């Protein structure tokens, strides 16, 4: 009985202070470094401008298509 209570006491002492530099503590330095790197990556992505050129090329391609001619060549009835 006392062995189990002493075991629980040892577990509680370890859980009580997870922020030290023991082998079984949380690696807070690594976690903070990773979070800083992720924030830098997000800031870099937020600073990018969207590419409007590729979008405008797609629109100009669609403007050149004659829908009625395309429907007639494929024997499709136009709804207009």
- Summarize pLDDT for 17-47 with one digit per residue, the tens: 778 788 878 888 999 999 999 998 888 888 8
Q: Is residue 79 part of a domain?
A: no
Rounded mean pLDDT, 63-70? 59
Q: To 5 degrees, how large is the angle CA 53–CA 61–CA 76?
A: 150
Q: For residue 62, what pLDDT is reported?
A: 54
Q: Is residue 69 part of a domain?
A: yes
- Give residue 34's domain range: 2-73
Here the tokens at position 64 are 């050149």
If one counts the domains in the chain, the total is: 1
Q: Is residue 80 part of a domain?
A: no
Global pTM exceeds 0.85: no
Q: Is residue 52 part of a domain?
A: yes
Backbone angles phi, psi at 13, to 5 degrees: -65, -35
């Amino acid at each position: 009985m006392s062995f189990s209570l002493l075991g629980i006491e040892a577990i509680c002492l370890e859980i009580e202070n997870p922020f030290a530099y023991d082998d079984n503590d949380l690696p807070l330095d690594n976690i903070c470094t990773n979070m800083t790197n992720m924030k830098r990556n997000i800031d870099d992505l937020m600073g990018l401008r969207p590419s409007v050129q590729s979008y405008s090329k797609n629109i100009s391609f669609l403007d050149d298509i004659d829908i009625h001619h395309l429907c007639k060549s494929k024997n499709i009835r136009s709804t207009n």
